[in-house]
Amino acid sequence: MKRCLSIRTCIPPPAPRKTGIHQKRYYAIQSSGAPVVEVFNSRVKWMQKERAAKDVVTSRKVDYLRDEVAFRLCERLLDIQRHFPNVLDLGANACNIARILTLPDPDPNSSKPVHAPLKNRIGSLVCADSSPTLLYRDENEPFNKEIPIIRQLLDSDETLPFEPNTFDAVLSSLSLHWINDLPSVLTQINHILKPDSPFLGVMLGGDTLYELRTSLQLAELDRRGGVSTHTSPLADVRDVGGLLQRANFQLLTVDVDDIIIDYPDMFALMQDLQAMGESNAVLGRETSGIRRDVLAAGNAIYKQLHGNDDGTIPATFRLIYMIGWKHSPTQAKPLERGTGMFSIKDILEKQGGNINFGDGNGDGNGNDKS
């Protein structure tokens, strides 16, 4: 039995209040000026992470997702050509980013590295998380000797106990999607960064696990006559840029990436989510768990609607990557509108209003190379 990331690695494997059928989907962000509404039970989420990390062997086996996402986030760090004396990993989980930073080859799918290990550009790495068992799970692993790591236990994931202008970079991988007051946390991140320093983050968002959500909803509708929330609400990519702007970040970059992982069945998927500490933590959720008949029906529906030809099922994890820079007077700025030397309108008029960019199979002039 394998869960395969269709990327570089194939790693062995190692549950609301009832609502009406027609329900509005809420996203885990707050609109501008709105009071903070708690969506997630922070205490429950802390307990889930603690319980999962205590089973060290299984917890490490299900690190495949966090490790892969941390790798992809660190790829973006390769594009920033500078040294970072003091870096914060916010919501560090089991220090997955630290492990990736120590890889001898930071270049994806390369037979010959073109970059030195990222650890050479990090002076000190502060790994902060509220779950002590998860944070210290791998403190005796070899990677701890390859990069200076300071583990800091947080009283709350939403309150950052750091002085202003402390860090040369802040990284965050797969933790922000459990934050109730995301605008506040982003503002705090901006506050603790030094001027002209970057924040690089990635969170689950959008249609993550839509296959699981729709299958359970249809199963409950059939067996119970209504649906409950069994997957957590997530931020939408369209809102992330606005949140970064609201937190006073500059030079924003937001992009989306999907990771699709195959599982033997829905039960294996849910077991891995639980082992990751990624189970549902929505306030008001049903604490009695999902009925067996609903689970059996959900598994059958999952395979019928979304299943692969080989009998496995896909699970989609949608990743929202974000990069923002703290303002600095010396920072590069986009030119004002109207200051360009050439007009696209003039160029189009000179070309007769028709420019052929090609379709990837020709030479740009309509001639097929195949």
How many CA atoms, within 13 angstroms, populate the side-chain half-sphere of residue 66?
25
Which pLDDT belongs to residue 13?
A: 36
Q: What is the mean pLDDT of residues 160-176?
A: 98
Q: Is residue 208 part of a domain?
A: yes
- Contact assessment for residue 250 and residue 324, using Cβ atoms and an 8 Å cutoff: yes
- Contact assessment for residue 281 and residue 232, using Cβ atoms and an 8 Å cutoff: yes
Distance CA 272, CA 146 (A): 29
Name the pTM for this structure. Answer: 0.80
Q: How many domains does the chain have?
A: 1
Q: Is residue 166 part of a domain?
A: yes
Q: Is residue 370 part of a domain?
A: no
At what angle are helices 292-306 and 266-276 packed, to 10 degrees?
110
Task: Report, in angstroms and rounded to the nearest whole number, the Rg of the chain calculated over CA atoms.
Answer: 23
pLDDT tens digits, 274-306: 999 998 877 766 666 788 898 999 999 999 999
Instruction: Check pLDDT > 50 for residue 9.
Output: no
- In terms of residue numbers, what domain contains 48? 8-339
Q: Is residue 57 part of a domain?
A: yes
pLDDT tens digits, 229-242: 656 678 888 889 99
Q: pLDDT grade, residue 352 (50/70/90)?
A: low
Q: Is residue 367 part of a domain?
A: no
Which CATH number fits the domain that encloses residue 238?
3.40.50.150
Q: Is residue 59 part of a domain?
A: yes
Q: Is residue 362 part of a domain?
A: no
Q: What is the mean pLDDT of residues 63-77?
A: 96
For tokens 């649906």, the residue is 227
Q: Is residue 368 part of a domain?
A: no
